Amino acid sequence: MVQPLPETFRETPSQTAGPYVHIGLIPQQAGFDIFETNFSNVVAGPDATGEPIRVEGRVFDGAGEPVRDVLIEVWQANAAGRYAHPADRQPGKEADPHFRGWGRTGSDFETGLWFFDTVKPGIVSGRHGRPMAPHLNLWIVARGINTGLQTRLYFSDEEAANAADPVLNLIEQKSRRQTLIARRETRDGRGVYVLDIHLQGEAETVFFDV
């Protein structure tokens, strides 16, 4: 016999969020008002530093139909490339008191469109100090998705940074890297980035086991 290792526990199994996830996480979308403070898809308000942008898209299933009951959360750094979390101690990058870095949204029940209003994130230092191109971390749950899917959204106008990004470069098939890059448009003078997410099939988005 050997000494036993300290007791450990195993992670609680995931289960699907189901079709009525909005009741708990976005009750107003479910059709009623119950909380004084509601979480929203506004990741950065008007006082946040940085370039205001909208990111939007749709999530498609394996038959090419939009998923109309998906819930997406975003987690991102501020314009300086710093996360609003005490574990981020990157030198020289200021916290922004007007920036939380997190938001959630549900896709529209008719069109399947989702969007976030935020600011474009800065470069975050990755492993071994290698800079990561500006990106949003996305977490996707829905009816039919047993465990939340993690992916990233990168920006089409950051070509040089994307080409050097240590995570994008881990994707063996170069064509698949494109599934994470949102296309920039300009509407009413504001930058809008569009990224469609494909759960399954030819254009399947890269999902991560983080």
Question: Least distance from C-beta 125 to another protein, angstroms?
Answer: 5
Among 1, 2, 34, 160, binds another protein (CB under 8 A): 34
Question: Least distance from C-beta 175 to another protein, angstroms?
Answer: 12
Among 89, 92, 186, 188, binds another protein (CB under 8 A): 89
101 binds another protein (CB under 8 A): yes
Cβ closer to another protein: 84 or 194? 84
143 binds another protein (CB under 8 A): yes
Q: For the window 36-75, what string marks contact with another protein as x by the rule CB under 8 A? A: xx-----------------------xxx---x-x---x-x
196 binds another protein (CB under 8 A): no
Nearest Cα neighbor of 39 from 51, 49, 28 is 28
Question: Least distance from C-beta 39 to another protein, angstroms?
Answer: 8
Distance, CA of 15 to CA of 148 (rounded, Å)? 9
204 binds another protein (CB under 8 A): yes
Cβ closer to another protein: 39 or 115? 39
Question: Least distance from C-beta 43 to another protein, angstroms?
Answer: 10
Distance, CA of 195 to CA of 154 (rounded, Å)? 9
Question: Least distance from C-beta 96 to another protein, angstroms?
Answer: 14
Residues 6 or more apart whose Cβ sits within 8 Å of residue 117: 41, 42, 43, 44, 52, 53, 54
- Intra-chain end-to-end CA distance of the chain, in Å: 35
207 binds another protein (CB under 8 A): yes
Q: Which of these ranges, 27-35, 47-55, 111-119, 185-193, lies near another protein under the rule CB under 8 A? A: 27-35
Six token digits for residue 202: 């030819």
Six token digits for residue 37: 């403070």
Q: Are strands 149-155 and 181-187 parallel, antiparallel or unpaired?
A: parallel
Evaluated on CA atoms 130, 136, 139, 140, the torsion sign reads negative
Q: What angle do CA 189, 194, 198 make, to 5 degrees?
A: 175
